[in-house]
Amino acid sequence: MTFRLIIRQSAERDLAEAFEWYEHQLSGLGSRFLLSVDASLARITRMPEAYAPCFERFRRSLVRRFPYGIYFFIEEQTVIVIAVLHLYSNPQRIQRILEKH
């Protein structure tokens, strides 16, 4: 069973910023980043419970080949993505972002 996917605007902004940064580093790298995120999102929607909770009700999936985590929670049959953050972000910053939701 595949879960429905909702990506909040905050996560969309995170993705746009990361895309721009990678694209500035090397043309095409931003697109590769988005492809890796898409693959992660596909895995999440197939089996969201496979990812252990990391902050209360929030779970995290690691993006392959890039140091980013996709933070989400499950509500009924829907996966709601809150943030896509660099793994070296300050843990307190990550927790503050998640607590807002």
54-101: pLDDT as tens digits? 888 999 999 999 999 999 999 999 999 999 999 998 888 888 888 887
pTM above 0.85, yes or no: yes
How large is the angle between the packed helices 9-25 and 29-46, nearest 10 degrees?
140
Q: pLDDT-based confidence at 6, cuts 50/70/90? A: very high
Residues 6 or more apart whose Cβ sits within 8 Å of residue 29: 22, 23
Query: Which structural domain, as residue segments, surrounds residue 25?
Result: 4-99
Domain holding 81: CATH number?
3.30.2310.20
Average model confidence (pLDDT) for the chain? 94
CA dihedral for 66, 7, 98, 51, sign (positive or negative):
negative
pLDDT at residue 17 tops 90? yes
- How much of the chain, in percent, has pLDDT values that exceed 90? 81
Looking at the structure of the chain, the number of domains it has is 1
> What per-residue confidence (pLDDT) applies to 60?
96
> What per-residue confidence (pLDDT) applies to 98?
82
